[in-house]
A and B are shown apart, each in its own frame.
Chain A
Amino acid sequence: GQQLNQSPQSMFIQEGEDVSMNCTSSSIFNTWLWYKQEPGEGPVLLIALYKAGELTSNGRLTAQFGITRKDSFLNISASIPSDVGIYFCAGQTGAGGTSYGKLTFGQGTILTVHP
């Protein structure tokens, strides 16, 4: 099935460093979302973006919805050990048609933070 192109696949960083990851698609999405998944758990929503060009922050996390509606990025500032996990981007086509809000996910970025 279709998946978004997410990069990098993995990152190994030192505590305190900033992190950046991005996601691209060949299709337009009306909503971009970023999720975090920890071992044995389901994805948890971090940030939702609803408008092209929108820049949204949630604590140390900042995400942007690309102008073309085909890409998004997530930045994490001053990383801490509890940031460890797998980060997924997801696109949603939104109302109308037969999408019903289903999510299309990227392959994930595995983040490891060394103390």
Chain B
Amino acid sequence: GAGVSQSPRYKVAKRGQDVALRCDPISGHVSLFWYQQALGQGPEFLTYFQNEAQLDKSGLPSDRFFAERPEGSVSTLKIQRTQQEDSAVYLCASSPFPGLGRDTQYFGPGTRLTVL
């Protein structure tokens, strides 16, 4: 498809389980962002990739969160030993150019993670 896709769309995990969330950005897009959206809140920045390089991971809430984009296209956000406070929608966005601002970020539909 032409847009950003994410999988799975919904994920239920038991506390302590590891999860992996996938993002397929628009083909050829250089920049890829991950955001976390808690219920009733706006998205919050987690991490940024320029091609395969993770240039900013300042928003990752703990060392249980890990993201990669090994070939500069598909990205995976991994959360180890999930906690209830990790429950949120995880949004992926891509844009055509390096992170210079003024680039439209195209968002995927998100993955809704529920930790029981």
A42 within 8 A of partner (CB): yes
Closest residue on chain A to residue B104 by CB atoms = A45
Q: How far is the CA of A48 from the CA of B109 in the complex (A)?
A: 21
Choose one: A1, A45, A94; the contact of B101 (CB below 8 Å): A94
Choose one: A30, A43, A50; the contact of B43 (CB below 8 Å): A43
Q: How far is the CA of A26 from the CA of B107 in the complex (A)?
A: 26
By the criterion CB–CB under 8 Å, are B101 and A41 in contact? no
By the criterion CB–CB under 8 Å, are A1 and B44 in contact? yes
Closest residue on chain A to residue B9 by CB atoms = A40
A82 within 8 A of partner (CB): no
Q: How large is the interface on A (under 10, 10 to 19, 20 to 34, 35 or more residues)?
A: 20 to 34
By the criterion CB–CB under 8 Å, are A102 and B41 in contact? no
Binary flags per residue of A30-50, CB closer than 8 Å to B gives 1, else 0: 110000000011111100101
B79 within 8 A of partner (CB): no
Q: How far is the CB of A28 from chain B (nearest CB, A)?
A: 13
How many residue pairs between the two chains, A and B, have CB atoms under 8 Å in the bound complex? 87
| Total chain B interface residues with beta-carbon distance under 8 A | 32
By the criterion CB–CB under 8 Å, are A101 and B95 in contact? yes
Hey, which chain A residues are within 8 Å of B95, CB to CB? 101
Q: How far is the CB of B44 from chain A (nearest CB, A)?
A: 5
Stretch at the interface among A13-21, A59-67, A71-79, A105-113: A105-113
B26 within 8 A of partner (CB): no
Hey, which chain A residues are within 8 Å of B41, CB to CB? 3, 107-108
Task: Please give the residue numbers on chain A whose beta carbons come within 8 Å of chain B beta carbons, in ascending order.
Answer: 1, 3-4, 6, 30-31, 40-45, 48, 50, 88, 90, 92-95, 98-108
Task: Please give the residue numbers on chain B whose beta carbons come within 8 Å of chain A beta carbons, in ascending order.
Answer: 4, 9, 31, 33, 35, 40-45, 48, 50, 55-56, 58-59, 91, 93, 95, 98-105, 107-110
Q: List 22 A-B contacts (CB under 8 A).
A: A1-B45, A3-B41, A4-B42, A41-B109, A45-B105, A48-B102, A90-B42, A92-B102, A95-B101, A98-B55, A98-B56, A99-B99, A100-B48, A100-B55, A101-B99, A101-B103, A101-B105, A103-B35, A103-B43, A105-B44, A107-B42, A108-B40
State the 7 A-B residue pairs at the shortest beta-carbon distance, nearest first: A100-B99, A42-B107, A94-B101, A105-B42, A101-B99, A95-B100, A102-B45
